[in-house]
Structure 1
Amino acid sequence: MRILTLTLGLLFVSLSSFATEGMFIPALLESIEDDMRAMGLEISAEDIYSVNSSSLKDAIAQFGGGCTSEIISSQGLLLTNHHCGYRQIQQHSSLENNYLKDGFWAMSMSEELTNPGLTATFIVRMDDVTAKMLQGITDDMSAQDRAAKMKENEAAIIEAMTRGTNHEAFVRPFNYGNSYFSIVTKTYKDVRLVGAPPSAIGKFGGDTDNWVWPRHTGDFSLFRIYAGPDNEPAEYSEENRPYEPAHYLPVSMDGVEEGDFTMVYGFPGRTEQYLTTDAVDYVINTANPMRIHMRETSLNIIDQAMRSSEKIQIQYAAKQSSISNAYKKWIGQNGGLIELDALGKKQRLEDSYRQLASLKGKKEYVDAIDRLKVLHGEIRDYRLARDVFIEYYFYGPEILSFANSFSDLIENYEGLEEKGELKKALEGLKSSVKSHFKDYHQPTDEAIYLALTELYFDNMPGELIPDQMRTFKEKNKNSIERMKMRTYERSIFTNEQALMKLLDSPSAKAFAKLMKDPAYQQAAAHYAGYFQKVRPQYGAKNQEIDALMKTYVAGLMELFPNKTYWADANSTLRLTYGKAEGSAPVDGMAYKFYTTANGILQKNATGNPDFEMPADLIKKLEARNYGPYAHKDGELRICFTGSNHTTGGNSGSPAINGKGQLVGLNFDRSWESTMSDILFDPGRCRNIMVDIRYVLWVVDVYAGAGHLVDEMTLVRGEEKAEMEPEMEMELTPDTQ
């Protein structure tokens, strides 16, 4: 008993030391408001999140369903990361107008570029609906009946929250279903590109500096939201006008000093802090090594191709960035998890959990942790098959997913014709074909196919390889080279002209013939194999794991009540807070919390192509032409770090000071922080932000687009920007 008491005492000390860990639900900020005030917050929780009056939340938008963005002017000017807007910048680029290389700046609103499909989504309100979701649920219900009843409850909640509005809503579980929140949203569909620096600024440091500190990257781009005449969401129209927000962020010209309070407000994608030992072991020793190897292989091919041609560089820029980002993160994540003994920490927690649960007679908690161990063994091959499928099918040879996009016409032509949907499907595919081949280089795709197909067969659990793929390989004498030749030489999906001709003169018979196309056969085999062999078993076992995780997490909260608990990130609006501070993650090395323009010049002088900069920018920096954007020490600060707990999805999130003013733009974590999705360490985990004054310097002094800065509200010294403009918020039926 003495040993157990000592173990638990040490555990509580360890857990309670995570001062800046957590991604908090804005609607529940009152519980941590005192702690935030002690760290330097000057505005109230109501100023950060309010339903009935304007607040900071009304300036925060989910950008394109993945990143975060923020409104920084009364005319709907939207700030996000360069890498978040990268696909739009790339899609507008050509050899004649290479915006990736040269940057883009709209000198008037009439020059702003449209982006079909790009959206900006705001949160109207978040409500705890746990009681409503569990209404009518009983312990003796079957899993099927329980799911059906909860689906019925969810539909009723959504209908009540959106009735009589143009809002949308969804219900999401938190803490594995220990609580539920309804989230009401409003989505704007006309979002136009306003400005982007050259990639030499927006991606300064390239892969060399990705996930690394010190950093000197101007990772930002500017868009604008347009609305209908009533300021409500509308499809693109020339009649649309700039959106007038309920709130926009004032911009601090003072920057931050070490120890200053900072908070990051955005849409973090996914964390997994409660994973048990076996799940973390799978990440470290199985999933990450496989994913790293597959992505490294394709990156070597893509990087070589991009270096050979400016056209290929444009075509593959966004793809390369997407593949590379997670690749380098996983390397750092594994290193951090191993160095911090994540498996040991998890095991010690679970041992204490099991002992304490037994002492308290909580058999359901002991049973949950024991059953989880068994299930993680049973699900392993299905989880690996799923991960391999994702890496190969979605990040491997493009010909497969492209071919599969024709599946509706190939397998359901007459059904589409009967429903009157054929014309729409044909027009959609015509657009898809043009878009695909604009950014497609067949020799590069062939090389990726050759390399990754071999890795696919090496890594996929043998019994879960689709039968059709096994047969296809055997017909080609088990030669990946033969498979590649047959696929690309005989497939119509490498021929843009033939595809367009087919779409212009369609027939059920012509599309039915594509059933035998080698690329389509493989795509269909992978897709069907996953949904037949992998997904059912993976889904069933994962559902059981989630149910047990609900019990496990409930047990943690009951058995260890002194810890501050927070729900894992799930792409919903969250706030995290900390301070502007450096770190000392490696013995003998201490990092300052900020970088300056001097670092750009120093890195540029190394000759590494990742640090190349436009000559005119170098000239301005050498002349120290900083305008009004210099820090009080006379330097132009570029980036800074803070102890804010962030993850993917926080890209583009605003860094806000204690007064509610914009001081920076979140875009990355340090290499030593990439394990923080699973294990957060306060001594080393740091998020990386662009200093907002560097953003303004690039826009104004470098690009000559000062009219955009004129739109903003700049705040200096002791000035306090009011929480204006104040606008009456539209209420949902439940609050009227």
Structure 2
Amino acid sequence: MKKIILFFTMCLVAFPAKADEGMWFLMFIERLNHRDMEKLGLQLTAEEIYSINNHSLKDAVVQFNGGCTAEMVSKEGLVLTNHHCGYDAIAELSSEEQNYLKNGFWAKDKSAEMKPKSLFVRFFVRMDDVSKRILSKVNDKMTEAERNKAIQQEMALIEKENSDGGKYTVSVRPFFQGNEYYYFVYQDYKDVRLVGTPPESLGKFGGDTDNWEWPRHTADFSMFRVYADANGNPAEYSKNNVPLQPKHYLPVSIKGVQENDFAMILGYPGRTNRWMPAGGIEQNVKFAYPAWVEGAKTGMDRMKVYMDKDETVKLEYASKYASTANYWKNRQGMIDALTKAGTAVTKSKEEAKFNAWANKKANKEKYGTVIATINNYYAQTNLKSSHDNYLSQLMRTAAYGAAPANLGNALISYYKENDAKKTEMLPKLNQFIENVYGNFYAPLEKDVFAAQLNLYTSKGAAYGLPEGIAKLSQDNKGDFTTYVNNAVAKSIFATKESVLAFMKDPKPENITNDPLYVVSNELSLKMRAKTPEQLKADDDFAIAFRNLVEGLRESKMNSIKYPDANSTLRLTYGKVRALPADKRNDATVNNYTTMTGMVKKYKAGDQEFDLPARLLELNAAKDFGQYADKAGYMPVNFLTDNDITGGNSGSPVLNGKGELVGIAFDGNIEAMAGDVIFDAKLQRTISVDIRYVLWIIDKYAGAKHIIDEMTIVK
């Protein structure tokens, strides 16, 4: 292990980072990136970016509700993130009478701020390297199961040691495919309240049509506030809680940006696969992603039929539809970009060179069979990957796919217990029921479930269907519509009301014969099923992939010097950078968009391109206040060449002084292969210009009291 640690340290010194590529650990900024960043325009010390003992930029950046990023922008706990990151909370707080998604919301004061049921932010405290400690517990003679058990046991000890008696959340994560390990210490705050959101016509302007596209004109932001107890500690919601005073918050610059300005982003990128072998890329392009796209589109199309008919249903399913649509377009973009770039071919050539190195006498024992094992694994699992993605989209988009089995099994366990245990279990069971049926419309769910079963049994049959599902498909000639309607009519799990009625007069023996439970349980078991041969193949692949990454680093054949993203705090840096001129953009340089360009897209009454009358009036009057660019236009979005992915949504875009200039919210579809291979020519981050954010809050919404909280740099 000393060899691995030493090699990584050498990498930090010997291989300076490219300015635009890389998602970097903050603890290595001093050694790895700082000099390069200074050349590009950074004016901060490494200590001002990441410090354990003093406040620094990392204290102003939080993980938002587990899947996005947000930033502190006032001394009173004010938080900025994306509109689509706050979407669930905004939808939850909305009703048909008070539709904040549609109409927007701005709290007139702190007493008017609204608390959704479940929302938290996570502050990063510190991290450290525990590779040597963990890897000392394993050896090459262990099976993968034995290795994983030993690692998990050591992880648990490290997490306990650093939690300060439960004060902190600690997570130990593997990097470089299990060749290194680091622990991360966090502190979670759960009292987070909605402060403001623009109407959906602004926050989601362009809808699915413009998603992942440039030029963009989207006000993708929302605002929240973090509350704590009187001592600044995390606390459950209480009227006695007070706004959190963060260790650091970001000053907000309204000076604007221009081509080649330094740009830095801190955030929580979710997942990249830059180390993925060629066979994995090929599998995704030809098997996994096409199934994902088709399955997602099937669910979306059936949802939309009912959402368009009923405003309440539209509100209830808005978040689920938006999430499904986002990944649907993303995966299709990945197929197109990876195919066009020939990424699998490029990787295959790299792996051929590696294989030649691996089979030299000095390397053969450890690395000689790595490539063959990996390629065999993908060949064996191509059909499975297609099947699994059809099935996973069924389970994600149709509540009747997973809920009857999960809830049924929970009820079976509940009724086996004594009265005391039942009393203990009941609150969680009731919450489970509420989670399933909280946003639930049975006619829609029946339609989605039938459509997804039709698709799954048609396209997943090549790999193999569950025996009972295959028989039902045969009996119903591939059309589950009538079967699903009849099953729902007879099922305990049809609605929340039918579940509660069952619990008042329970007959637990009826659960396993329930028609929805039977289908759902078969599907769930199929999702988890692994034959001994599959388990062996998985283990062999895990060893081979780990050795591939170690061997690529040892042989210096791979230029990647940073680990894949895995929802841990990272820094990416580069510059404001235009794409080639585009006649669709009225901007002088194709690195920003304007309100003029947005109004040109305006279509009255259109679901994606409508605009509020007040915005049109303010634009006509050129009432932009202090937020207009010095050239006179009202900026909306801008481009940088930062390296981001999902999870970076809501991340702060910072200038060289650490001042907030924008909020990252998207990438461009031309570079959708970026999760697998970075394209320095095409890859861009799309961000909301902070001046547009402030203009909406101040001029459009009349919420200047929120602006007054911030430190504005003119």
For the superposition of Structure 1 and Structure 2, which TM-score range results when normalised by the shorter chain? over 0.9
Q: In the alignment, which residue of structure 1 is the partner of 2:259?
A: 258
Give 1:512's match in structure 2, choosing from 500, 506, 509: 509
8 A contact 1:18–1:681 mirrored in 2: no
Q: Deviations over 1:59-101 (max 9, x none)?
A: 1111111111111111111111100110111111111101111
Counterpart of 1:138?
Answer: 139
Q: 1:529 aligns with which of 516, 526, 529?
A: 526
Equivalent in the alignment of 1:93: 94
Residue in 1 that maps onto 2:554: 558
Q: Distance in 2 between matches of 1:54 and 1:197?
A: 31
Structure 1 Cα separation of the partners of residues 600 and 147 of structure 2:
62
2:7 is matched with none
Report if the CA contact (8 A) 1:169-1:182 is conserved. yes
2:376 corresponds in structure 1 to: 374
State the match for 1:637 in structure 2: 635
Partner deviation per Cα, 1:577-608 (whole Å, 9 max, x = no partner): 11111123999999700001111110005874
2:593 maps to 595
The answer for unaligned runs of 5 or more in structure 1 is 1-14, 717-736
Output the amino acid matched with 2:243.
P
Contact 1:195 1:223 in 2 (8 A): yes
The superposition leaves residues 81-134 of structure 1 with CA deviations (integer Å, 9 ceiling, x where unpaired) of: 100110111111111101111011111111111122211111111101101111
Paired position in structure 2 for 1:287: 288
Q: Distance in 2 between matches of 1:74 and 1:212?
A: 35
The verdict on how the C-alpha distance between 1:677 and 1:562 changes in structure 2, with shifts beyond 3 A counting, is closer
Structure 1 residue 715 corresponds to structure 2 residue 682: no
In 1, Cα distance between the equivalents of 2:558 and 2:446? Answer: 56
Say whether the 8 Å CA contact 1:382–1:537 is kept in structure 2.
no
Distance 1:189 1:416, change over 3 A: farther
Structure 2 counterparts to residues 144-223 of structure 1, below 5 A: 144-164=145-165, 166-223=167-224
Are the counterparts in 2 of residues 584 and 684 from structure 1 also a CA contact under 8 Å?
A: no
Give SS of 1:584's match.
Answer: coil
Alpha-carbon distance change, 289 to 463 in structure 1, aligned in 2, over 3 angstroms: closer
Asked if 2 retains the 8 angstrom alpha-carbon contact of 1:54 and 1:247, the reply is yes
For 2:685 and 2:135, locate their aligned partners in 1 and report how far apart those are by CA, in whole Å. 37
In the aligned structure 2, how far is the partner of 1:64 from the partner of 1:173?
22
- Call closer, same or farther: CA 1:339–1:381 in 2, change over 3 Å: closer
| Alignment match, 2:9 | none
Query: 2:290 and 2:583 mapped to 1: Cα distance?
Result: 26
Contact preservation (8 Å) 1:170, 1:184: yes
Q: Please report how far the alpha carbon of residue 305 of structure 1 lies from its aligned counterpart in structure 2 after TM superposition.
A: 2.5
Structure 1 residue 339 displacement after superposition: 1.1
After the TM superposition, which of the residue ranges 337-346 and 545-554 deviates more from structure 2? 545-554
Partners of 2:536 and 2:651 in 1: how far apart? Answer: 35
Aligned-pair distance for 1:167?
0.7
Q: How many residues align?
A: 696
Letter in 1 for 2:654: I
Shift of 1:413: 2.4
8 Å contact kept, 1:16–1:564: no
Which whole-Å CA distance do the structure 1 matches of 2:25 and 2:540 have between them? Answer: 26
Aligned to 2:572: 576
Work out which structure has the larger RCO, using CA pairs closer than 8 Å and 6 or more positions apart in sequence. 1
Which runs of structure 2 are paired with 1:142-541 in the superposition (5 Å)? 142-164=143-165, 166-358=167-359, 361-363=362-364, 364-395=366-397, 397-417=398-418, 420-423=420-423, 425-433=425-433, 436-437=436-437, 439-462=439-462, 464-474=464-474, 476=476, 479-503=479-503, 505=504, 507=506, 509=507, 511-533=508-530, 540-541=536-537
Q: Percent identity?
A: 36
In the TM superposition, what whole-angstrom CA distance separates every residue of 1:209-262 from its partner, at most 9, and x where no partner exists?
A: 000000000001111111112211111111111111111111111121110111
> What is the deviation of 1:438?
5.1
SS of corresponding position for 2:643: coil
| TM-score normalised according to structure 2 size | 0.93
Instruction: Please give the alpha-carbon distance, in whole angstroms, between the structure 2 residues aligned to 1:541 and 1:621.
Output: 61
More moved, 460-469 vs 114-123: 460-469
- Which segments of 5 or more consecutive residues in structure 2 lack a partner in the other structure? 1-14
Which residue of structure 2 aligns with residue 10 of structure 1? none
**Aligned-partner Cα distance in 2 for 1:467–1:586:** 54
What's the CA shift for 1:427?
Answer: 3.8
Change (3 A) 1:366 1:588: farther
2:457/2:478 contact within 8 Å kept:
no
TM-score (norm 1): 0.90
Change (3 A) 1:143 1:298: closer
- Match in the other structure for 2:111: 110
* Contact 1:585 1:684 (8 Å CA) reproduced: no
AA at the equivalent of 2:676: I
Cα distance between partner residues in 1 of 2:396 and 2:274:
26
- How many Å apart are 1:145 and its aligned residue? 3.4
Question: How far off is 1:539 after superposition?
Answer: 5.5
Provide the secondary structure at the position in 1 that maps to 2:497.
helix
Deviation at 1:669, TM superposition (A): 0.4
Moved more, 450-459 or 132-141: 132-141
Cα pair distance change 1:498/1:71, threshold 3 Å: same
Instruction: Report SS of the residue matched to 2:708.
Output: helix
* Residue of structure 2 equivalent to 1:615: 613
> Shift of the alpha carbon at 1:703?
0.8
Paired position in structure 2 for 1:668: 666
After TM superposition, give the deviation of residue 556 of structure 1 in Å: 1.5
Seen in structure 2, the aligned counterparts of structure 1 residues 378 and 436 have a Cα distance that, compared at 3 Å, is closer
Equivalent residue number for residue 683 of structure 1:
681
Any idea what SS the aligned residue of 1:79 has?
Answer: strand
User: 1:625 — aligned with what?
Assistant: 623
Deviations 1:614-668 (A, max 9, x none): 1112111221111111111121110001101111101111111111111100100
What SS does the aligned partner of 1:192 have? strand
* Equivalent-residue separation in structure 2 for 1:540 and 1:571 (angstroms): 29
1:701 equivalenced with 2:699 (yes/no): yes
Contact 2:457 2:470 in 1 (8 A): no
Q: Match of 2:455, SS?
A: helix
1:469-508 superposed Cα distances (whole Å, 9 cap, x missing partner): 23444554654233222222222323333333334x254x
Q: Is this contact kept in 2: 1:381–1:461, CA < 8 A?
A: no
Is the 1:641–1:687 contact (alpha carbons within 8 Å) kept by the matching residues of 2? yes
Letter in 2 for 1:661: E
Deviates more, 1:376-385 or 1:512-521: 376-385
Worse-matched range after superposition: 326-335 or 431-440:
431-440
- Displacement of 1:304 in angstroms is 3.0
SS at match of 1:24: coil
Q: Is the 8 A contact 2:269 2:566 kept in 1?
A: yes
Mapped to 2, the partners of 1:663 and 1:563 lie a distance apart of 31
2 CA distance for matches of 1:587 and 1:100? Answer: 32
Give 1:3's aligned residue. none
| Cα distance in 2 between the residues matched to 1:551 and 1:498 | 53
Q: What is residue 65 of structure 2 aligned with on the other side?
A: 64
For residues 417 and 251 of structure 2, what CA distance do their matches in structure 1 show? Answer: 51
**Partners of 1:94 and 1:538 in 2: how far apart?**
48
Q: 1:353 to 1:481 in 2, by over 3 A?
A: same
SS at match of 1:308: coil
Give the whole-Å Cα distance in 2 for the aligned partners of 1:325 and 1:308: 22
Q: Work out the CA distance in 1 between the residues paired with 2:169 and 2:61.
A: 17
RMSD between superposed Cα atoms in Å = 2.4
User: CA 1:233–1:541 in structure 2 vs 1: closer, same or farther (change >3 Å)?
Assistant: farther
Identify if the C-alpha distance between structure 1 residues 440 and 562 changes in structure 2 by more than 3 Å, giving closer, same or farther. Answer: closer
Report the CA distance shift for 1:307/1:133 in structure 2 as closer, same or farther (over 3 A). Answer: same
Determine if contact 2:407/2:432 at 8 Å carries over to the other structure. Answer: no
Report the secondary structure of 1:711's partner residue: coil
Displacement of 1:359 after TM fit? 5.1
Q: Is the 8 A contact 2:664 2:687 kept in 1?
A: yes
CA contact (8 A) 1:584 1:683 kept: no
TM-superposed CA distance for 1:329, in Å, is 0.8
